[in-house]
């Protein structure tokens, strides 16, 4: 479960942020919790949350203690927690370097969703959640799968099949589009190699001209249009995990 602390003294935006966070994690089938605070002082009193939070999102401009000052105090207690800032003014973004903020979220009605979702993508990757589970309603009913057990996805008619790693020797079908599932799993290094298949890069052994070879020996064709992007993504992934 991803544990998030959200601190904003504007009630309207606080509700919007909570709704967007719920939308993000529910769409990905991931468990999460959100604790909200209306001031920096209220957040800092909750010492238990400061110790267990995976992400703390702070409004920069709050009455009383501001977000930057609150972040400095949080760092005194937790040196590893992901911190992100919210503000309608980009000139505050450089202040985040002093507390190693992972992201600066632009707090406007038009921009907040894109900035917040990108921040959450970053945090999900930082938390290395590949051993976590995703819960979806498959044709055989609701099931929870370990992200790392999914070898690849493929389109079968109006359905998408989850093909699992060799150790499990199972597959599940769901009535979701491949594109929706690829977008959902993108933070976990899933990559579309054609209009019909998406692979988990952790199960890719090699990429050659128009072909991906998985660790179970299966060969999956790569579309000519996507080949350069697939090869680049695989090379970067291998460099990151080497």
Q: How many domains does the chain have?
A: 2
Tens-of-pLDDT digits for all 242 residues of the chain? Answer: 789 999 999 999 999 999 999 999 888 878 889 999 999 999 999 988 998 899 999 999 999 999 999 999 999 888 889 999 998 876 655 555 678 888 899 988 988 999 999 999 888 877 765 567 788 899 999 888 888 899 999 999 889 999 998 766 678 999 999 999 998 888 788 999 999 999 999 899 999 989 999 988 899 999 999 999 999 989 888 876 55
The DSSP line for the chain is -EEEEEE-S-HHHHHHHHHHHHHHHHHHT--EEEEEESSHHHHHH-HHHHHH-SEEEEESS-SSS-HHHHHHHHHHH-SSSEEEEEES-GGGGGGGGGGT-SEEEE-STTTHHHHHHHHHHHHHHHTTGGGSEEEEEETTEEEEEEGGGEEEEEEETTEEEEEEPTTT--EEEESS-HHHHHHHHGGGTEEE-SSSEEEEGGGEEEEETTEEEETTS-EEE--TTTHHHHHHHHHHHHHHH-
Residues 148 and 208 in one domain: yes
Q: What pLDDT, on a 0 to 100 scale, did the predictor assign at position 168?
A: 63
CA-to-CA distance for 36 and 166, rounded, in angstroms?
42
CATH number where 199 lies: 2.40.50.1020
Q: What pLDDT, on a 0 to 100 scale, did the predictor assign at position 7?
A: 97
Report yes or no: 6 and 84 within 8 Å, Cβ to Cβ.
Answer: no
Residues 191 and 76 in one domain: no
Residues 189 and 150 in one domain: yes
**Boundary residue ending a domain (74, 94, 127):** 127
Q: What pLDDT, on a 0 to 100 scale, did the predictor assign at position 88?
A: 84
Q: What pLDDT, on a 0 to 100 scale, did the predictor assign at position 117?
A: 93
Residues 107 and 137 in one domain: no
Residues 64 and 137 in one domain: no
Give the pTM: 0.61
Q: What pLDDT, on a 0 to 100 scale, did the predictor assign at position 122?
A: 85
CA-to-CA distance for 214 and 197, rounded, in angstroms?
13
Residues 119 and 145 in one domain: no
CA-to-CA distance for 88 and 111, rounded, in angstroms?
10
Residues in the chain: 242
Residues 154 and 74 in one domain: no
CA-to-CA distance for 173 and 156, rounded, in angstroms?
9
Which domain range does residue 210 map to?
Answer: 133-241
**Boundary residue ending a domain (127, 143, 171):** 127
Q: What is the end-to-end Cα distance of the chain in Å, rounded?
A: 27
Backbone φ and ψ of 46, nearest 5°: -90, 75
CA-to-CA distance for 41 and 70, rounded, in angstroms?
8
Residues 176 and 73 in one domain: no
Residues 148 and 88 in one domain: no
CA 103, 104, 108, 110 dihedral sign is negative
Q: What pLDDT, on a 0 to 100 scale, did the predictor assign at position 48?
A: 85
Residues 84 and 56 in one domain: yes
Residues 76 and 146 in one domain: no
CATH number where 84 lies: 3.40.50.2300
**Boundary residue ending a domain (91, 112, 127):** 127
Residues 25 and 118 in one domain: yes
The label of the residue with tokens 């929706």 reads: 180
């Amino acid at each position: 479960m991803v544990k998030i602390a959200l601190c904003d003294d504007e009630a309207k935006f606080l509700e919007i942020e909570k709704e967007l966070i719920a939308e993000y994690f529910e769409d990905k089938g991931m468990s999460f919790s959100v604790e909200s605070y209306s001031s920096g002082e209220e957040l800092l009193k909750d010492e238990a949350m400061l110790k267990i939070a995976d992400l703390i999102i702070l409004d920069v401009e709050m009455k009383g203690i501001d977000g930057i000052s609150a972040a400095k105090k949080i760092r005194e207690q937790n040196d590893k927690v992901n911190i992100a800032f919210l503000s309608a003014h980009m000139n505050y973004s450089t202040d985040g370097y002093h507390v190693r903020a992972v992201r600066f979220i632009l707090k406007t009605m038009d921009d907040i969703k894109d900035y917040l979702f990108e921040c959450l993508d970053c945090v999900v990757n930082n938390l290395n959640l590949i051993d976590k589970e995703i819960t979806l309603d498959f044709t055989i009913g609701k099931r929870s799968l370990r992200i790392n057990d999914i070898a690849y996805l493929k389109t079968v008619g109006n359905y998408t099949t989850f093909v699992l790693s060799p150790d499990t020797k199972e597959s599940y079908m769901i009535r979701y589009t491949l594109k929706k599932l690829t977008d959902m799993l993108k933070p976990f290094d899933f990559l579309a190699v054609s209009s019909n298949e998406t692979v988990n890069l952790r199960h890719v052994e090699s990429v050659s001209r128009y072909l991906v070879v998985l660790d179970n020996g299966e060969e999956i064709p790569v579309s000519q249009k996507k080949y350069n992007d697939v090869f680049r993504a695989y090379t970067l992934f291998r460099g990151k995990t080497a």
